[in-house]
Amino acid sequence: MSLNGELQLEEIAKEFGVPVQFQRYWLWAKRQNHTYRPNRILTHLGESQTVGQLKEVSNKVQNTVLKLFLEVELGMELNPLSPPGKSKDDILLFFKLYDPEKEDMRYVGRLFVKGIGKPIEILGKLNEMAGYDPDQEIELYEEIKFEPVVMCDNIDEKTTFQSSQLEDGDIVCFQKFLTAESRQQFRYPDVPSFLEYVHDRLVVHFRSLDTPKEEGFCYEMSRINTYDEVVARVAQQLRLDDPSKIRLTSHNCYSQQPNPQPIKYQGVNLIDMLLHYNQTSDILYYEVLDIPLPELQCLKTLKVAFHDATKDEVVIHTIRLPKQSTVGDVFKNLLKKVELSHPATELRLLEVFNHKIYKIFPTTEKIENINDEYWTLRAEEIPEEEKNLGPHDCLIHVYHFNKEASQSQMQIQNFGEPFLLVIRVNETLAEVKVRVKKKLQVPDEEFAKWKFAFVSLNCLEYLEDLEILSSRLQRRGICHAWEQYLGLEHADGAPKKTHAAHKSLCLEYFIVYSEPPPIVLSPSSTELEIPNIQGDLTASSGIVCLILVPGASVSDMDV
């Protein structure tokens, strides 16, 4: 169908209320800066072309949509008139008016100007369009582009339009002239600062870190806001006097949960806080601290599970110390909070993961090197029997386990609380059993069902009562858990935990270390209790990327 078919033009006339004889169309053009502007008038010859032919003329790249600009001239009573004539030297400009007091910009009209003319010649007309006094001094700006960054340049009113490189379809923004003193009254005193504001503004949804699924409140912010500016707005909403006590955590777009680590305090803008890999979120989580964040970031916070030997219970203690503190300093802090079986009793700190002990920390180790995000830190009393080891005695790791069938083979599944045990020279398994039973306080009937095994690199050998354990464990001092341990095979009396909640989660990656500890799985996206994953990874090293698809669970993965 040709564009000037009577039916189509009449439909446009009905749609826009512009009679056919008063309609004038412009073709759009894409510029080098990737903006689109009305470029040239569609002549009567052009109007006789088909829509398909016009698309080929107006689009250098294939496009299924023909875009035209309908120019309309309105009279005093807003009645359509014939569009003004346009010579080769005329330039079509569009004008926007900015009001810094209202922080508002609106379209006020268009004008044809001569290329050799100067902006100073149309100031009176612009004041009329704005409703200003005829002699009002105004500032002019060209809105060049809006994305990916704002470009808006001042226009010299005494330079010709051609010299300012203005052409058909360009946008000119203007406002009242402001003195340096009067500019201080406004957040965005001029057109460029207002366009930057519009470009950078974002609506951010803030949620409490304690209740991450509940809707909180939202604010209009700027993507260039600093950390301090963001927490100041949050503090205002929470009616908190000290914004420095607010800590922010970003949103994980994959897990739809807060990231496990909070945002670092310094050197980030709002857009950095909202960016998660290649996705931008509009959610931030907040928490109110008991001390200012800059002060907190100079400290290290550890969660230590203290195993109380006197009460047979486990209590989690939060310990906050300067980063240069040592494990010995942790003990000093912990002794203020716990009750020991004897005042002279010494403590030790263990790193536990997946029901195994991977490290016993020396008292001199700096706490800034300790990661308690995925590992459990366990503090316990050192039994008297361990303080005076003989030259042939050793301290072994003892783990609970049972066997599970997996892909036509039996695999060891650890559970429960691991512990350390002294093995004396020439001590038989039968003698060790007596001490284990007493330590764990297991009833006779149940203990009779237990089996004891020597486990090395995930392979086990059952032990006989008369067997000398020290012959199996030749190394002096600490025997590393990933090399060998004494296994206690029995049923897991604790209620089984369901992993149904894991089924729909997307885990981004796990870091797998081949050096000690040999099997350390660290979910980067969220804190989860990971089911035991069996397999010998000691032969290789590096990073293993695992994708958990909807409907799969962590336990479905075959490492």
Closest CA to 320 of 277, 269, 367: 367
Instruction: Report the sign of the C-alpha dihedral through residues 8, 14, 20, 25, in that order.
Output: negative
527 pLDDT higher than 50: no
Whole-number Å distance between alpha carbons of 273 and 283: 9
pLDDT of residue 139: 95
pLDDT at 43 over 90: no
pTM: predicted TM-score of the whole model, two decimal places? 0.56
Question: What mean pLDDT do residues 313-332 have?
Answer: 92
Residue 7 has pLDDT above 50, yes or no: no
| Under 8 Å between Cβ of 420 and 398 | yes
The type of residue at 125 is K
Read off the tokens for 209.
């870190």
If one counts every other C-beta atom within 10 angstroms of the C-beta of residue 145, the result is 14
Answer yes or no: is pLDDT of 41 > 50. yes
Least confident of 434-443, 455-464, 474-483, 509-518: 509-518
Q: Which residue has the higher pLDDT, 299 or 523?
A: 299
Report the distance separating Cα 334 and Cα 327, nearest Å.
Answer: 10
Provide the 10 A C-beta neighbour count for residue 95: 19
Q: What is the pLDDT of residues 178-236, one digit of tens each?
A: 999 999 999 999 999 999 999 999 999 999 999 999 999 999 999 889 999 999 999 99
Sign for the pseudo-dihedral over CA of 338, 343, 349, 350: negative
Predicted confidence band of residue 496 (pLDDT cuts 50, 70, 90): low
User: What pLDDT does 393 receive?
Assistant: 84
Whether omega for the bond prior to residue 134 falls within 30 degrees of 0, making it cis, is no
* pLDDT(359) > 70: yes
Highest mean pLDDT among 49-58, 84-93, 532-541: 84-93
Task: With beta carbons less than 8 A apart as the criterion, state whether 10 and 1 touch.
Answer: no
Q: What pLDDT shows up at residue 45?
A: 55
Beta-strand relationship, 299-308 and 257-258:
unpaired
47 to each of 24, 187, 467, 489, how far by Cα in Å?
A: 10, 48, 102, 89
Asked if 204 and 218 count as a contact pair (C-beta separation under 8 A), the reply is yes
The residue whose two tokens read 């991450």 is 212
| Residue 428 DSSP class | B
Largest CA distance in the chain: 113
% of the chain exceeding 70 in pLDDT: 81
pLDDT of 90 > 60? The answer is yes
Question: What are the φ/ψ torsions at residue 118 (nearest 5 degrees)?
Answer: -125, 150
- Stated as kind and residue range, the H or E segment containing 54 is helix 51-58
pLDDT reported for residue 558: 35
Q: How far apart are the first and last CA of the chain?
A: 64
Chain Cα centroid distance, residue 333: 34
Which tens digits make up the pLDDT trace of 54-78? 666 555 545 567 778 888 888 777 7
Q: Average pLDDT for residues 128-142, to the nearest whole number?
A: 94
> How does the average pLDDT of the chain come out, rounded?
80
- The tens digit of pLDDT for each residue in 143-152 reads 988 888 888 9
Q: In order of start, what are the domains of the chain with their CATH numbers?
A: 9-81 (no CATH), 90-189 (3.10.20.90), 201-289 (3.10.20.90), 297-382 (3.10.20.90), 394-489 (3.10.20.90)
| Cα–Cα distance for residue pair 122/379, rounded to 1 Å | 81
CA dihedral 353, 358, 360, 362 (to 10 degrees): -110
**How many other C-beta atoms can be found within 10 angstroms of the C-beta atom of residue 462?**
11
- In degrees and rounded to multiples of 5, residue 90 shows phi and psi of -80, 145
Q: Beta strand pairing status for 246-252 and 283-288? A: antiparallel
CB 262 within 8 A of CB 301: no
The b/e string for 411-428 (b: 16+ C-beta within 10 A; e otherwise) is ebbbbebbbbbbbbeeee
- pLDDT of 176 over the 90 cut: yes
Determine the average pLDDT of the residues in 455-470.
88
pLDDT band at 40 (very low <50, low <70, confident <90, very high): confident
The reported pLDDT for the residue numbered 488 is: 95
Q: Which of 9-23, 69-83, 411-425, 516-530 is the most confident on average? A: 411-425
For residue range 408-445, what is the model confidence (pLDDT) as tens digits? 677 889 999 999 999 988 899 999 999 999 999 999 99
More confident of the two residues 87 and 104 = 104
Q: Which residues of 365-388 are buried (b: 16+ CB within 10 A; e: fewer)?
A: eebeebebebbbbbbbbebeeeee
Strands 170-176 and 90-99: parallel
Residues 49 and 45: their CA atoms lie apart, in Å, by 7
Lowest mean pLDDT across 32-46, 60-74, 270-284? 60-74
Among the residues of 407-544, which ranges form H helices?
429-440, 444-447, 469-472
Q: What six digits make up the tokens of 206?
A: 């803030």
Residue 269, pLDDT above cutoff 80: yes
Q: Which residue has the tokens 């439909």?
A: 11
- Span 332-343, mean pLDDT? 89
Asked if residue 219 lies in contact with residue 237, where contact means CB atoms within 8 angstroms, the answer is yes
pLDDT band at 133 (very low <50, low <70, confident <90, very high): very high
Check whether 544 has a pLDDT greater than 70.
no
pLDDT of residue 535: 34
| Residues 59 and 28: beta-carbon distance below 8 Å | no
303 phi, psi to nearest 5 deg: -105, 115
Report the pLDDT value the prediction gives residue 50, as an integer from 0 to 100: 58
Q: How far apart are CA 115 and CA 90, in angstroms?
A: 6
Using pLDDT thresholds of 50, 70 and 90, give the confidence band for residue 510: very low
Q: What percent of the chain has pLDDT over 90?
A: 46
Count CA atoms closer than 13 A to 68's CA, side-chain side.
19
